[in-house]
Amino acid sequence: MEEIKIGEFTLTTLLDGVFPCGPDLIPAAKSKDGEKLFVDAGLPQIGPSPEPINAFALRRGDRLWLIDAGCGHQLGPDFGKVPAALKSLGYEPEQVEAVILTHLHEDHIGGLVTEDGAAAFPKARLFVPTEELDFWLDPTSPAKNPGEAQQKFDLAKAVLAPYEGAIEAVPADSEIEEGVRLVGLFGHSPGHCGVSIEQDGKKLLMWTDIAHSTLLQLAYPHWSIGFDFDQPQAVATREALLAELAGTDVLVAGSHVRGMGTISRSGDGYRLEPSEEVSSATVKATKAA
């Protein structure tokens, strides 16, 4: 587990699982350019590249928050490892004070509930982008958006239900508390947000699903993934954000990014320069089962 300090905050990656990201998900990677990227990375010519699904622990003093909750039981036994990762940091689910949700896709919200549908983090409040809540909970949305499976609307409702009364809608580009803001990065989903953490002149942006494969989509930011709600908007958001971040000292982490670092230009695209400030999280001794 990697972690980094931003002022009084400590952000730690909680790896939920790893998924294969190839041309079936990013069709433009089925090309000479794609083959070169895969081969140069030591992968088969047609990929896939193994990519993480991350949630994050955000700690300040003795307070513990999560950013997203992982897949839970949605994607099978290879996923849903956030509770174990949290435990290895020395925490029980009851100690989670709040969960910031970046958007309401299964790999970010499935872990909010246990297998029997109860709250996995029983004492937590949820902070959810207003734009995202409005989209998924509006009863007229499924009919207006036939491209989105009914199952996705049902899941959003089901995982939020046990938190009723503890859900706070937060508009994009507003502060959740001092130093922690939602950043509107719409396109991948209607209210898709990143989370910025800023203190003492230091800033990190957890950009959520701006890239599902840094290998493919930093080299070619116009390459889309099939999961995008609005592909042109998702591409425009990714291109604008990468251009804005390039050459700055803003640190970046992502739901599907290995490591943390800064963004620099590389040819016509970009690359992530790993930060030397990232360290390994202290894992509390746990007895092997």
Query: Which positions touch Zn ion (CB under 5 A)?
Result: 107, 209, 255
Peptide bond into 50 cis (omega under 30): no
Half-sphere exposure of 80 (CA within 13 A, CB side): 14
Q: One-letter amino acid identity for 108?
A: H
Answer whether 222's CB lies under 8 Å from 243's CB. no
* Least distance from Zn ion to the Cβ atom of residue 140, Å: 25
In order of 13, 125, 150, 151, 237, the CA distances from 94 in angstroms are 19, 11, 31, 29, 36
Query: In this complex, which beta carbon is closest to Zn ion, that of residue 172 or of residue 225?
Result: 225
* Least distance from Zn ion to the Cβ atom of residue 144, Å: 23
* Least distance from Zn ion to the Cβ atom of residue 23, Å: 18
Residues sharing a CB contact under 8 Å with residue 187, sequence separation 6 or more, in sequence order: 228, 229, 230, 231, 232, 233, 234, 235, 236, 237, 238
* Least distance from Zn ion to the Cβ atom of residue 132, Å: 13
* Least distance from Zn ion to the Cβ atom of residue 240, Å: 20
Residues sharing a CB contact under 8 Å with residue 173, sequence separation 6 or more, in sequence order: 181, 182, 183, 184
For residue 83 the two structure tokens come to 């509770």
Query: In this complex, which beta carbon is closest to Zn ion, that of residue 132 or of residue 198?
Result: 132
Query: In this complex, which beta carbon is closest to Zn ion, that of residue 107 or of residue 198?
Result: 107
Answer whether 211's CB lies under 8 Å from 218's CB. yes
Query: In this complex, which beta carbon is closest to Zn ion, that of residue 2 or of residue 209?
Result: 209
Query: In this complex, which beta carbon is closest to Zn ion, that of residue 10 or of residue 255?
Result: 255
* Least distance from Zn ion to the Cβ atom of residue 187, Å: 13
Query: In this complex, which beta carbon is closest to Zn ion, that of residue 12 or of residue 255?
Result: 255
Q: Smallest Cα–Cα separation from 12: which of 282, 215, 275?
A: 282
